[in-house]
Structure 1
Amino acid sequence: MPPPPPPPPLSAAGAGGGRRRWQNRLSPTLARDRCYTRAFRSAGLRPTAVPLPDGAVVHLWLPPAAPPELHPVLLLHGFGARATWQWAPFLRPLIAAGLAPFVPDLVFFGGSASPAADRSPAYQAACVAAAMAAVLPGAPQVQAQRYAVVGVSYGGFVAYHLAHAFPAAVERLVLVAAGVCLEEADLAAGLFAVEDIAEAASLLLPQRPEDLRRLVGLTFCRPPRFMPSCFIRDYIRVMCTENVKEKTELLHALINGKKLSDLPKINQQTLIIWGEQDRVFPLELGLRLKRHLGDTSELVIVKNAGHAINREKPAELCRLIKNYIADPSVKYRDGHKGSWKSAIKRFAGSSLRKVDSTRPLL
């Protein structure tokens, strides 16, 4: 196969645009993005843009029209890439289990945006709830207006506020590595590897290859061994340069002034899933959330998994989600993984620093 032709000569005025077009043609990140989009479409999902009264727009993938009588489940992505990158492997198994996946991009991710100044998870939840209220009446393939919600990491914060603010809409909840019980005081206590939110933003919104390498190393239990610099720079250029200011403000709203005593309790049955070796939100936060919610919750600890459970253990995570949501008549249907009780015994009497001496990233 002959090598690709060289890029055409660029005029001084059009050099920037031409260079970007040439980079896009050769971009492995854009190629992967197209693959994830095709996976959504091949699973039968279709995209739509839902305008909201305050001027916000929520980009949302709707479930297929068949098979009939599916049970709706809302899938909320984390702080990394857009929704297609985090949920593509889960669609077909969830649909086969009788679930109808609704998959939005959260505001300032993917195709969703808002002119509002509010950066709180509660505002994200209100936007998602409004979008679901707009599309559910037009989705006759689902059997009820109530829906289950699955939130990964940052998406778990949004899911929690959605369950609290809209209890009539949210039936049950799955929170995956979602540190909703964190407090601002945890930074000073040394629970995280960063001293302030600015340092956290530099890693969670990486603009340099070394920041992305460190983030991957902290996110995965077993980080990829081969990460070419050209691929890292391409990923940053494509995925990490949009809405940096707004996303930084989302991080500030996530932790500034937060106290566990201010976190409301929710009444929905909740499954909490945590990687045993999570270095982003340490297991202590999962145990804290279990204690906060009490008997309405169950905690599953996944062994040999870090924060990126959806990438490291997609089959196990999908099984847990299916088992918990497909039959709402049961509280909890998985006893395979380690129990929260054994983890509490292991951590009993430990200080925050002793809980995780590697000081995980926020």
Structure 2
Amino acid sequence: MHFWVANPRRSQKPALVMLHGYGGNSKWQFIHQVGSLSQSFNLYVPDLLFFGDSYTTRLERTEIFQAKCVAEGLKRLGLDRFSVYSISYGGFVAYWMAEMYPELVEKTVVVSCGIGMTKEQKREQLNKVGSNALNLLVPQSARDLRLLVNLSVHKPGPSKWVPDIFLRGFINVTYKQHRKEKLELAEHLLRKKEDPDLPILTQETLIIWGDKDEVFPVYLAYQLQRQLGPKSKVEIIKDTGHAVNMDSPTSLNSLITSFVLG
């Protein structure tokens, strides 16, 4: 398990663990956030298994196994208390970290994560996407990656018009390594049944969503809040898609900081 760690670590700052979404790695997904958040927190940013420099020879492909690996890695780094900010796939991992390690996790921030979706909701959303979901999660072509970007990013920007040659280069760098394992992770997410006994977290939880999310519709934010109860709250960022970290990083950073430090 590979971690990017604050250096030097400042004892007066609280620890914040940042869990990235599917595709790519932590280095580029948090490019608009590390500078701002590092002013208030000691940051610990893992590459989840089979992304970036993290891998395993074990056969488990669940978010529960990912959560165990992250938590045990953080303990080896000497952390005994921290908050977790997570986005999309990282939210599944953060949820189970908070459930299994309540003595470690102080507060949780879950952004644009479809945890708790029913089988019918998942089927409806896959039909709306109208493409092979595995090709989107682990793209093989510039067309696949461009479709993923258009689904995830709402606001116009360089990612919308970058030439195919750069998209193909990004795929070679980001998705070629551990491709088989990435597909297995995605297959597990897409095929797993809904969990009727999804645990209620004991931590205060902030749920953040973009109002233009085309991957996980905004009603899922309120559905998750109803599941978690009074220790959770929802913040909706306007004119923002699934990739809140790309569309509205300043607003996102402000919400994370005020919640974790509050």
| TM-score of the alignment, normalized to the shorter chain, above 0.5 | yes
The answer on 1:292 being equivalent to 2:227 is: yes
Contact 1:121 1:157 (C-alpha < 8 Å) held by counterparts? yes
Question: Which residue does 1:118 correspond to in 2?
Answer: 60
The answer on 1:214 being equivalent to 2:147 is: yes
The answer on 1:201 being equivalent to 2:134 is: yes
The 1-side partners of 2:128 and 2:57 are apart by 30
Question: Which residue does 1:84 correspond to in 2?
Answer: 27
Contact 1:175 1:271 (C-alpha < 8 Å) held by counterparts? yes
Q: Which is greater in Rg?
A: 1
Structure 1 residue 195, shift from structure 2 partner: 8.1
Say which SS state the counterpart of residue 232 (structure 1) adopts. helix
Structure 1 residue 192, shift from structure 2 partner: 3.0
The answer on 1:75 being equivalent to 2:10 is: no
The runs of at least 4 consecutive aligned structure 1 residues that moved more than 6 Å come to none
Contact 1:153 1:178 (C-alpha < 8 Å) held by counterparts? yes
Alignment of 1:1-362 (within 5 A): 58-97=1-40, 99-136=41-78, 145-188=80-123, 190-193=124-127, 199-224=132-157, 225-327=160-262
Say which SS state the counterpart of residue 127 (structure 1) adopts. helix
CA RMSD of aligned residues (A): 1.8
Cα–Cα, structure 1 residues 195 and 215, in superposed 2: closer, same or farther, change >3 Å? closer
Contact 2:137 2:186 (C-alpha < 8 Å) held by counterparts? no
Structure with higher RCO (Cα < 8 A, 6+ apart):
2
Could you list the per-position Cα deviations for residues 114-166 of structure 1 after superposition, in whole angstroms to 9, with x for gaps in the alignment?
011110000000000100000026xxxxxxx2100011100011000000011
The 2-side partners of 1:249 and 1:223 are apart by 32
The 2-side partners of 1:278 and 1:193 are apart by 16
- Give me the TM-score of the superposition, normalised by structure 1: 0.68
The 2-side partners of 1:166 and 1:307 are apart by 28
The amino acid of 2:161's aligned partner reads F
Structure 1 residue 223, shift from structure 2 partner: 4.3
Structure 1 residue 287, shift from structure 2 partner: 1.6
Say which SS state the counterpart of residue 125 (structure 2) adopts. coil
Structure 1 residue 90, shift from structure 2 partner: 1.9
The 2-side partners of 1:255 and 1:288 are apart by 19
The 1-side partners of 2:122 and 2:31 are apart by 34
Structure 1's unaligned 5+ residue stretches are 1-57, 138-144, 328-362
Structure 1 residue 314, shift from structure 2 partner: 0.8
The amino acid of 1:206's aligned partner reads P
The 1-side partners of 2:187 and 2:251 are apart by 32
Cα–Cα, structure 1 residues 257 and 206, in superposed 2: closer, same or farther, change >3 Å? closer
Could you list the per-position Cα deviations for residues 240-284 of structure 1 after superposition, in whole angstroms to 9, with x for gaps in the alignment?
212121111112222433224131111100000000010011112
The 1-side partners of 2:33 and 2:129 are apart by 35
Contact 1:149 1:170 (C-alpha < 8 Å) held by counterparts? yes
The amino acid of 2:5's aligned partner reads L
Say which SS state the counterpart of residue 118 (structure 2) adopts. coil
Could you list the per-position Cα deviations for residues 18-55 of structure 1 after superposition, in whole angstroms to 9, with x for gaps in the alignment?
xxxxxxxxxxxxxxxxxxxxxxxxxxxxxxxxxxxxxx
The 1-side partners of 2:118 and 2:184 are apart by 17
Question: Which residue does 1:50 correspond to in 2?
Answer: none
Aligned residues: 260
- Give me the TM-score of the superposition, normalised by structure 2: 0.93
Contact 1:180 1:289 (C-alpha < 8 Å) held by counterparts? yes
Could you list the per-position Cα deviations for residues 178-219 of structure 1 after superposition, in whole angstroms to 9, with x for gaps in the alignment?
11112333243x2334689x9211111110111111111111
Structure 1 residue 62, shift from structure 2 partner: 1.4
The amino acid of 1:129's aligned partner reads A
The 2-side partners of 1:252 and 1:77 are apart by 18
The amino acid of 1:94's aligned partner reads L
